[in-house]
Amino acid sequence: MVQKVVIAGSSGRMGRTLMESIAQSDDLRLHAALERGDSPFLGRDAGELIGAPNGVTITADLDQGLRGADVLVDFTRPEGTMAHVDACVRHGVKLVIGTTGFSAEQKARITAAAGKVGIVMAPNMSVGVNVALRLLDLAARALGEGYDVEIVEAHHRHKVDAPSGTALRMGEVVAAALGRDLATDAVYGREGVTGERKPSTIGFATVRGGDIVGDHTVMFAGIGERVEITHKASSRATFAMGALRAARFLGAKQSGLYDMQDVLGLR
């Protein structure tokens, strides 16, 4: 069965990559392409953005775009995603959410919406990153105390949130494996005379520049050795392929909140 997919933020970098991936798929079809009301791309053929006109007109009308759709894929910003969540619940459309930077209240609303429609939400849709999360859990449990944990991430100059959602998720996985609370043990920047490092600290360092797609390294620094688990993305296609894999996963789900660990069968 062919699934009808709606892309939010269709003119953006991820939106175009998603449309390219759908165009190469046999079991997915672009149903609608959404953009903000002030977008200069409104009314244009979405396929023109990827060099392959497809007859799908870019629109800001959520209700029109979602009518008759199966799943919406959203890599936008929290405020936009929340509007999409509400509209998807109204239309019974499932969601794949790759947006990051949600508040606790917004996450609670998404969880409530998952009681009505199937949702896959993950800060990083890359298959490789999600395998790395499993490796981090294993490493943290095996190494235990005595190893200082530092997380370094780098992204392009246009990214608006820091640390990245992926870096935070990595910190959460390590903290859970070590029995720590990331909310109290995370350190997001160091400057001046900081004193000695507290053993329970999980440190974060952020780099922004150029067109870096996404690099993440988690360092377990012990005495006499250091273990590093690194993932580097060289193309947004890896996120698009993971997101569409999540869309296929939702085909058999009526409701519920899932992440990429569920999609990949890693639980």
Mean pLDDT split into 10-residue runs, the chain, 267 residues:
96 96 96 96 96 95 97 96 98 96 96 98 93 97 96 96 94 98 96 96 98 97 98 94 97 96 91
End-to-end CA distance of the chain: 27
CA 136 to each of CA 36, 78, 109, 217, 218: distance values in angstroms, whole numbers, following the listed order: 38, 27, 29, 10, 8
Beta-carbon neighbour count of residue 213 at 10 Å?
A: 17
Specify the pLDDT at position 30: 98
Specify the pLDDT at position 109: 98
| Predicted TM-score (pTM) of this structure | 0.83
Question: C-alpha angle 165/103/35, rounded to 5°?
Answer: 75
Cite the active site residues.
Answer: 155, 159
Specify the pLDDT at position 123: 87
> What CA–CA distance (Å, rounded) separates 150 from 169?
13
Specify the pLDDT at position 55: 94
Specify the pLDDT at position 264: 94
Q: Provide the β-strand partners of residue 217.
A: 152, 230
The packing angle between helices 127-143 and 237-250, to 10°, is 90
| Helix segments in 62-126, DSSP class H | 62-66, 78-91, 104-113
Specify the pLDDT at position 1: 83
Q: Which domains does the chain have, with CATH numbers?
A: 3-121+236-263 (3.40.50.720), 127-233 (3.30.360.10)
Specify the pLDDT at position 20: 97
Name the CA dihedral angle for 144, 147, 150, 151, rounded to a multiple of 10 degrees: -40
Instruction: Kindly report the length of the chain.
Output: 267
Specify the pLDDT at position 7: 98
Specify the pLDDT at position 153: 98
